[in-house]
């Protein structure tokens, strides 16, 4: 068992080293887009499915609540995954594909940013969300896996975790999300 644990940790380290080599510029670009949005009176919207939904909620909370400082003003941020009444009603009455794009229609504004998280890059509701956000003039950022799937090329910035292993991709997403949230907090603590 110890051997398996060690192998998992070493694999995670390897993916993070590859991420450092391939993603640093995109991480910086994503943070700059988000900082500009907040400065212009915008907000950060997040979406994802499953574990990515949990990441969306976690990262939205970091911006609203504070990571290292609860004294700073909240950074406007909302996970579109948290309104269970809307999500269950809408998907029951219409379809699941438009649960996020419908919310963007109602809540998204031109100065906002949508951060869409999909390990495969093939989630139809995430793709629809990106398309609706772009239609409404929002900036878009995607977190995805090695190939980007169908999300490839749709967003203003895409951060590709260099792995095809869902667990390693998810670890990369939360790490990068935490880094970006920390950069925003540092910027708005000034």
- Residues 171, 16: Cα–Cα separation, whole Å: 9
- Cα dihedral 110, 112, 117, 123 sign: negative
- Polymer length of the chain: 190
- Residues 59, 40: Cα–Cα separation, whole Å: 20
Of residues 140 and 190, more confidence is placed in 140
Domains and CATH numbers, the chain: 2-189 (3.40.50.10490)
Residue 190 is predicted with a pLDDT of: 66
Q: Which residues of 53-79 are buried (b: 16+ CB within 10 A; e: fewer)?
A: bbbbbebbbbbeebeeeeeeeebbbbb
This prediction's pTM: 0.95
Angle between the N-to-C axes of helices 166-189 and 51-65, in degrees from 0 to 180, rounded to the nearest 10: 10
Once rounded to an integer, what is the mean pLDDT over residues 25-32?
A: 98
Residue 36 is predicted with a pLDDT of: 98
pLDDT in tens, 46-101: 999 999 999 999 999 999 999 988 888 999 999 999 999 999 999 999 999 999 99
Residue 69 is predicted with a pLDDT of: 83
pLDDT in tens, 114-167: 999 999 999 999 999 999 999 999 999 999 999 999 999 999 999 999 999 999
Among residues 181, 190, 186, the alpha carbon closest in space to that of 34 is found at 181
């Amino acid at each position: 068992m110890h051997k398996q644990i060690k192998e998992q940790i070493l694999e995670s380290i390897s993916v993070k080293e590859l991420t450092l080599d391939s993603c640093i510029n995109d991480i910086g670009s994503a943070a700059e887009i988000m900082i500009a949005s907040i400065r212009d009176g915008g907000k950060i919207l997040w979406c994802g499915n499953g574990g990515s939904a949990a990441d969306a909620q976690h990262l939205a909370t970091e911006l609203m609540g504070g990571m290292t400082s609860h004294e700073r003003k909240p950074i406007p941020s909302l996970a579109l995954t948290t309104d269970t009444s809307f999500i269950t009603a809408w998907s029951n009455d219409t379809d699941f594909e438009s649960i996020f794009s419908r919310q963007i229609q109602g809540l998204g504004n031109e100065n906002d940013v949508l951060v869409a998280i999909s390990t495969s890059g093939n989630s139809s509701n995430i793709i629809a969300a990106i398309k609706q956000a772009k239609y409404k003039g929002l900036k878009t950022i995607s977190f995805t896996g090695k190939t980007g799937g169908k999300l490839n090329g749709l967003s203003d910035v895409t951060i590709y975790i260099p792995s095809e292993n869902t667990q390693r991709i998810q670890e990369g997403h939360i790490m990068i999300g935490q880094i970006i949230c920390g950069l925003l907090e540092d910027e708005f603590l000034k």
